[in-house]
Structure 1
């Protein structure tokens, strides 16, 4: 039977972990490079910048900073402030995955019934992450380099919490997307599909890491799969954001400015008391259908995507004192 705590086995595992982290860092640097086209399209205004992209960039660049810190930590031959670097890596590693859950609030149109509980859930998860940061430390050992230590319990709880939080977020998104799924748009199906793929990737990458920590074969093997799991999660989340952004820019859409729309299921609200002037302008740039409705005294907006082959006639009454979904022919 293998003695997992023998010096020879631990030394062999350290070599495997070092090579594995170098491979993962190389993969992420390649992923970062191929994503520069997406970021350049935002700089040149080919794509519109919206607030859900803020968590994307925070996660993306935290991952880049952690990657650089990993390379310095493993390849340095001079004295380093290991405690500061490892603390930054612990915060950055938690932030890499944590920030990508924030844009899910958009699916619920920032409804407080979902946003408040979700914020409390994410805050509790951040508390677990910060607990892991406190339990993590390091020191410099001449001839060896930075020695990192952490709490197995903190690592295990962090992975379990991450899986549970992602499952809850996916369930909330599914509940909302099922409610707004209709013939007008493939967007709910896309969001649900990307969310499901993301959750499966997180589960498949985090579960082996949690099992390794639970087995506690030796200190090196406890954290062997933690770094690859985190990077896989970040890459999957960032690709989902870019995929959704590409869909939003390439798919035909109908844009309507109306009074306080309520989703799901209704495009118009009842009992509109203010009179409105509703001149309609239809244009078709880049194979898209855009309808701008100029109103007086009305606010709000709805964005609906339609397949390229689908067209609808929208009839507006001359005296719009009561608008509802029946006005769509």
Structure 2
């Protein structure tokens, strides 16, 4: 078995950490730049303003601050105070993670239709998570093993409780969200329903949170050496931020384009000529009178005349209610 405390092994692991974190930083910078149009569309008024955009932006900006600080510290050759790494890099990454988790709390409130018990439990779980993140930052110290050596954590075991609690609370919040969808039966609805969309997002998020959260927790508990103890912690916070903000944008786009469960009067919201089926409404002229024809209706009219009319299901009504809640708390 390899001796992970051997200086040569530690140096090799430090080099791997350096390269890996550069890849993570590059990935987030690419993600941030390519998705700036989302915020810009709100500023220009092309997209509906929702107050939750501030939580979304806080998560992204805090993560960007952490990425910039990390890149500086990874490539800085002159001596500096190692504790600045904690303040300028680790603290913003934890703020980004907390904001990303709060987006999930807001989604839970919408799914559970602001049920008091669900909101209280999810908020309490999020508060516990935030408290342990603050505790972890306050107890984390960086130093140098020798003069001229790079900064590294000198007490990574103090992060063990923080990592375990953060991983468990994220998974617990996701389970609360999925239970809320499951109890309403949205996992069985049509593919285009809001409930089904949220269900699929929740499954993806649960798998991602489990994988990215378990890895740093396992490595910090193994305590092989300092680089391996923290190698997955920073990528975990950045990955969860990317996932949370991507799902926020995805839900916003879905609510902006999916009109299958809203009245026809709302189908034109935002200036889009859309029918209640989510298909284009084509204007035509009949004897000098302008009318609008639903492409979907025109395409299926022959079938609808020969088939039996099916009344709207209860699930569609429930899904419409969920869409209205999600539209407020997206």
TM-score, shorter chain, exceeding 0.5: yes
- Report the secondary structure of 1:80's partner residue: coil
2:195 aligned with 1:188, yes or no?
yes
Per the alignment, residue 304 of structure 2 pairs with none
Q: Cα distance 1:289–1:131, how it changes in 2: closer, same or farther (>3 A)?
A: same
Aligned length: 275
Gaps of 5+ in 1: 257-279, 291-307, 315-323
- Report the secondary structure of 1:286's partner residue: coil
Q: CA shift at 1:166, angstroms?
A: 2.1
Q: Which has the higher contact order (CA 8 A, sep 6+)?
A: 2
Alignment equivalent of 1:207, drawn from 206, 214, 217: 214
d(CA) in 2 for partners of 1:142, 1:150: 15
Q: CA shift at 1:175, angstroms?
A: 2.6
Q: How does 1:48-197 map to 2 (within 5 A)?
A: 48-102=48-102, 103-104=106-107, 105-139=109-143, 143-145=148-150, 147-149=151-153, 151-181=155-185, 186-197=193-204
Q: CA RMSD in A?
A: 3.0
- Are 2:63 and 2:96, in contact at CA under 8 Å, matched by a contact in 1? yes
d(CA) in 2 for partners of 1:171, 1:18: 34
- Report the secondary structure of 2:198's partner residue: helix
Per the alignment, residue 273 of structure 2 pairs with 286
Could you give the per-residue CA deviations for residues 83-125 of structure 1, whole angstroms, max 9, x where no partner exists? 2342232222222222122222332233322222222211111
- Are 2:14 and 2:227, in contact at CA under 8 Å, matched by a contact in 1? yes
d(CA) in 2 for partners of 1:229, 1:282: 40
TM-score normalised by L of structure 1: 0.74
- Are 2:58 and 2:99, in contact at CA under 8 Å, matched by a contact in 1? yes
Q: Cα distance 1:252–1:63, how it changes in 2: closer, same or farther (>3 A)?
A: same
- Are 1:90 and 1:136, in contact at CA under 8 Å, matched by a contact in 2? no
d(CA) in 1 for partners of 2:311, 2:211: 46
d(CA) in 2 for partners of 1:222, 1:139: 15
Q: Cα distance 1:127–1:95, how it changes in 2: closer, same or farther (>3 A)?
A: same
**Greater helix content:** 2
TM-score normalised by L of structure 2: 0.74
d(CA) in 1 for partners of 2:61, 2:266: 40
Per the alignment, residue 328 of structure 2 pairs with none
- Are 2:157 and 2:223, in contact at CA under 8 Å, matched by a contact in 1? no
2:21 aligned with 1:16, yes or no?
no
- Report the secondary structure of 2:80's partner residue: coil
Per the alignment, residue 45 of structure 2 pairs with 45
Q: Cα distance 1:282–1:37, how it changes in 2: closer, same or farther (>3 A)?
A: closer
d(CA) in 2 for partners of 1:44, 1:200: 35
d(CA) in 1 for partners of 2:266, 2:209: 43
d(CA) in 2 for partners of 1:120, 1:132: 18
Which deviates more from structure 2 when the two are superposed, residues 238-247 or residues 72-81?
A: 72-81
Q: Cα distance 1:109–1:281, how it changes in 2: closer, same or farther (>3 A)?
A: same
- Are 1:136 and 1:148, in contact at CA under 8 Å, matched by a contact in 2? no
Gaps of 5+ in 2: 278-295, 301-308, 319-330
Q: Cα distance 1:175–1:202, how it changes in 2: closer, same or farther (>3 A)?
A: closer
- Are 1:178 and 1:188, in contact at CA under 8 Å, matched by a contact in 2? no
d(CA) in 2 for partners of 1:45, 1:312: 39
2:43 aligned with 1:36, yes or no?
no
